[in-house]
Structure 1
Amino acid sequence: MNSNKIIAIALIGFILQGCAGGMNKQGSGTLIGGLAGGLLGSQFGKGSGALAATGVGVLAGALIGGQIGKTMDDTDRRILEMRSQQALETSPAGNSVEWRNPDNGHYGYVTPTKTYRADSGEYCREYTQVIVVGGKEEKAYGRACRKPDGQWQIIQ
């Protein structure tokens, strides 16, 4: 599985968790951090060394991500979702759209990086996302496509 798919899965889980409320903040942060850490760890070593590095990355990422997720709240997630939709809809490639929760100081950026037309005819965009909570930064990469109702849906 390539790295973009892993990060996208984490983002999808995070956004769905925010909508459904099925997992607490720390749990979703742990999931995202673990996936991101595993991805980072997989970039090191060869053969069985890469597998070990991935495992270490998952554990480290889960610990760090759990701390970030523990402190994000529903307002953070709503602001992030609203600003992400805005960035994907109106921001030129390379221009970041910031989100910020004035109540707790959490913030981040969504930056579309490439726009293209999928085989299905939908307009799609690649993007990067940065979330900063308590001075700790998490980065993710993904792709989203614009649905007929105008909403952007994460596809990877």
Structure 2
Amino acid sequence: MKYISILMVLGAFFLASCAQQNKAQVGAGGGAVAGALVGQAIGHNTQATLIGAAVGTMLGYIIGNEMDKYDREQLNHVYERGVSNQPTAWVNPDTGNEYRVVPKPAYTDPETQRVCRQAEIEAVIDGKREKTYTIACRDENGRWQLQR
């Protein structure tokens, strides 16, 4: 019973800190708590609880990370194929978050000699409209990596 109390406190901690975390971190936290509860229920000992927490953390991270990947893939597509100064928009089917991205022309960074591209991003996340400017550059594998 004492393990369940500890896990409930940990669960509350993870839920309280979700606002500043990405979806993969939130998934890992929730998975750890759920996995620990299942491990304790099945094995009735500390080892089973720890194994359950570890497995739950891994599965929760993978699920949360996959949710983030949709938006990253869409943004990567805009950097790769988006017409300069023409907006591209999408709505994440899982979160309902809305994005509108206007890419700028590609250029070669004089310091790194990498191809880069700036973009203006407008997002509506949890009902709040936000606007930011990003720069992405191609890495050595040809993938776009956000610089800022």
Normalised by the length of structure 1, the TM-score is 0.50
CA distance in 1, matches of 2:106, 2:74: 18
1:139 aligns with 131
CA distance in 2, matches of 1:122, 1:85: 16
Contact 2:67–2:94 (CA<8 Å) still a contact in 1? no
Aligned-residue CA RMSD (Å) = 2.2
Contact 1:79–1:100 (CA<8 Å) still a contact in 2? no
2:19 aligns with 26
Identity, in percent, stands at: 26
Contact 1:83–1:110 (CA<8 Å) still a contact in 2? no
List alignment gaps of at least 5 residues for structure 1: 1-23, 30-72
Q: 1:101 deviation in Å?
A: 1.8
Q: Secondary structure at the match of 2:105?
A: strand
Provide closer, same or farther for how the CA distance between residues 109 and 75 of structure 1 changes in structure 2, counting only shifts above 3 A.
farther
CA distance in 2, matches of 1:25, 1:97: 29
After TM superposition, which residue ranges in structure 1, 4 or more long, deviate above 3 angstroms? 73-76
Deviations 1:59-93 (A, max 9, x none): xxxxxxxxxxxxxx755522210011100011121
List alignment gaps of at least 5 residues for structure 2: 1-16, 23-63
Provide closer, same or farther for how the CA distance between residues 141 and 76 of structure 1 changes in structure 2, counting only shifts above 3 A.
farther
**Aligned mate of 1:77, from 62, 68, 81:** 68
1:151 aligns with 143
Q: Which has the larger radius of gyration?
A: 2
Tell me which of the two structures has the higher relative contact order, counting C-alpha pairs closer than 8 angstroms and 6 or more residues apart: 1
